[in-house]
Amino acid sequence: MEVTGSRFCGGTERGRMEGWGSYTLPTGTEYRGELRDGAFHGRGALLFPGGGIFRAVWHRGLPAEGSFTFADGLEYAAERWDYCDGYDRRFYSEIRSGLRAAGISQLTNLDPPRQIPAGCYDCGDGFYNPETRIVTDYELKFLRNADDEEHEWIIRTCRKAEDRAPGQKPGP
């Protein structure tokens, strides 16, 4: 993720974004939709670099109602969220494509899972190096410094480079 300036393509009125347009934030997230008086207003969507989409009806820059769809097609539901709960721990790709044979576990929703740099953890939005306490994106560009709380959560919860499922061979 290369952080650059924001970009806008669309109509303006009195020097403000107006009508339909596309606005790309410095993080690479793009808004496509209606704008009014320089703010998201009306129907529009945020398209995230990782592939997720937040579609919403916006009112003066704030979402009045909306829905989020993950890159793999899974739709988030605030009510009755049945995905990866205490009773069914399957990944969405396993729900869609079925389980593997016994003894060949799937470690992540991605198959095959990402290669994690030695000594690091996959923390969901990038890799975490506990030595430097730095989180990078998956292209190894800086995202943030982890505070003590995030450090402990990652060490306790996330997959480390050496973690393998039974029957899974090490990568090259």
Q: Has residue 19 been placed in a domain?
A: yes
Condensed to tens digits (0 to 9), the pLDDT of residues 117-163 reads 999 999 988 999 999 999 998 889 898 999 999 999 999 989 899 75
Same domain, 61 and 115: no
Q: Is residue 86 part of a domain?
A: no
Is position 172 within any domain?
no
Per-residue pLDDT of 76-127, as tens digits, reads 877 777 666 667 767 777 777 777 777 777 777 777 788 999 999 999 889 9
d(CA 73, CA 33): 21
E strands along 25-169, which residues? 30-36, 39-47, 53-59, 62-69, 121-122, 127-129, 134-136, 142-145, 159-160
Q: Nearest CA to 139 among 29, 3, 33?
A: 3
Q: Which residues of 90-112 are buried (b: 16+ CB within 10 A; e: fewer)?
A: ebebeeeeeeeeeeeebbebeee
pTM of the model: 0.61
Domain that holds residue 61: 7-69
| C-alpha separations of 86 from 48, 75, 76, 83 in Å | 28, 19, 17, 9
* Structure confidence by residue, pLDDT tens digits, 16-39: 999 999 999 988 899 999 999 999
Q: How many domains does the chain have?
A: 2
